[in-house]
């Protein structure tokens, strides 16, 4: 990455010098068309410089790794489950914009609408470095579409991001520390409904970390995926333990509710998305929910 940043810097310097010379010549000749072209090129260079600036912050030990993204609905039934699904859609839209590939490896649907939980494996350049600041509780305020009285509701959902560690990272897992459960995969039904107990859930008893996978028909493949996820979770758990003395980030994981949110998405009575850590704001929440979250991602990286 250092070579890329250095090349981008040198390239931007040359472009700026060329545009400066061209702008001076166009100004002397009062050529408005060329002047407008110079301004457009300057804006393009500024975007490139901003991208390089963000890259400078992605130097953490695991920043270049792929990720597992978990979303869990908070208390509140259908309201929170619908909010969890809205968050999942928002991140998937952002992944599409970044051309990241992703795969839902486990998901539990809500009874009426939305999802209770979802786990997504995401592959993309510097996915963990970009996404790790998204971990925390996200709060939604809106007029509920499920309330016949059209009252305003507040819903919560949690988002947790952890790195998909490589196979060469040594994480020791003892069989005696594990509880492995199998169950029938949930689905929409029909001719492809899974009639065997192929879904796998593994609980790491000392840390109470739970991972599950149900997207494969083979129990063996689901179990293999679960172990990869568990290794990733345990690795992240150890990193967080080491960092706990220097930061209070883990405090936000106690409850999916009031007082623990990192970001609020207000649709009523006004329109605002506000990150409570970086104080970043956006007055177009529908655009944010359509996956335009780069400003929050970038400020989260800088804020770290």
- The answer, yes or no, to whether residue 111 has pLDDT greater than 70, is yes
Q: What is the pLDDT of residues 137-183, one digit of tens each?
A: 999 999 988 887 888 899 999 999 999 886 656 677 888 999 999 88
Model pLDDT, residue 173: 85
What is the pLDDT, as a whole number, of residue 247?
52
Q: Which DSSP string do the residues of 166-196 spell out, in sequence order?
A: -TTS-----GGGEEEEEEPPP---STT---S
Residues 259, 139: Cα–Cα separation, whole Å: 10
Strand pairing partners for 203? Answer: 179, 210
Crossing angle of helices 32-57 and 2-29, rounded to 10° = 160
CA–CA dist 255, 261 (Å, integer): 9
pLDDT at position 98, please? Answer: 94
* pLDDT for res 189: 43
Q: What is the tens place of the pLDDT at every residue in 224-269?
A: 899 889 988 888 887 777 666 445 544 545 456 555 789 999 999 9
Helix, strand, coil % over all residues of the chain, rounded to 5: 45, 25, 35
Q: Domain extents for the chain?
A: 2-57, 61-304
CA distances 31 to 28, 98, 204, Å, are: 8, 38, 70
With tokens 């939980």, the residue in question is 117
Asked if the model's pLDDT at residue 195 lies above 60, the reply is no
Give the whole-angstrom CA distance, residue 235 versus residue 221.
21
- The string of pLDDT tens digits covering residues 198-211 is 899 999 999 999 99
pLDDT of residue 257: 59
Residue 62 pLDDT exceeds 90 = no
d(CA 119, CA 215): 11
Is a pLDDT exceeding 80 seen at residue 192? no
Q: Please give, one letter per residue, the 3-state secondary structure of 14-81.
A: HHHHHHHHHHHHHHHHCCHHHHHHHHHHHHHHHHHHHHHHHHHHCCCCCCCCCEEEEEEECCCCHHHH
CATH level 2 (architecture), domain 61-304: 2-Layer Sandwich (3.30)
**What does pTM read for this prediction?**
0.71
Half-sphere exposure of 73 (CA within 13 A, CB side): 24
Alpha-carbon distances, residue 249 vs 13, 243, 252, 261 (angstroms): 39, 9, 6, 11
């Amino acid at each position: 990455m250092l070579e890329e940043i250095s090349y981008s810097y040198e390239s931007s310097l040359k472009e700026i010098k060329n545009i400066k010379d061209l702008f001076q010549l166009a100004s002397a000749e009062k050529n408005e068309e060329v002047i407008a072209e110079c301004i457009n090129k300057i804006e393009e260079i500024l975007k490139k410089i901003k991208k390089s600036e963000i890259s400078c912050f992605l130097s953490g030990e695991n920043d270049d790794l792929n990720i597992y993204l978990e979303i869990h609905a908070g208390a509140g039934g259908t309201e929170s489950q619908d909010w969890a699904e809205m968050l999942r859609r928002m991140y998937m839209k952002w992944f599409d914009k970044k051309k990241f590939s992703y795969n839902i490896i486990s998901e539990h649907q809500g009874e009426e609408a939305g999802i209770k939980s979802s786990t997504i494996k995401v592959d993309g350049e510097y996915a963990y470095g970009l996404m790790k600041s998204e971990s925390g509780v996200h709060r939604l305020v809106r007029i509920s579409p499920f309330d016949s009285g059209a009252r305003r509701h507040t819903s919560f959902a949690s988002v947790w991001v952890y790195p998909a560690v490589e196979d060469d990272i040594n994480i020791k897992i003892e069989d005696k520390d594990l509880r492995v459960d199998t169950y029938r995969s949930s689905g929409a039904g029909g001719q492809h409904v899974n009639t065997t107990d192929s879904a796998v859930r593994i609980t790491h008893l000392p840390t109470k970390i739970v991972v599950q996978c149900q997207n494969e028909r083979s129990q063996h493949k689901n179990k293999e995926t679960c172990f990869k996820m568990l290794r990733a979770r345990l690795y992240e758990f150890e990193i967080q333990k080491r960092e706990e003395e220097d930061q209070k980030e883990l405090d936000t994981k106690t409850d999916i509710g009031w007082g623990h949110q990192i970001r609020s998405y207000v649709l009523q009575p006004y329109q605002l998305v506000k990150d409570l850590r970086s104080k970043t704001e956006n007055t177009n929440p529908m655009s944010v929910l359509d996956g335009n979250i780069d400003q929050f991602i970038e400020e989260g990286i800088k804020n770290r």
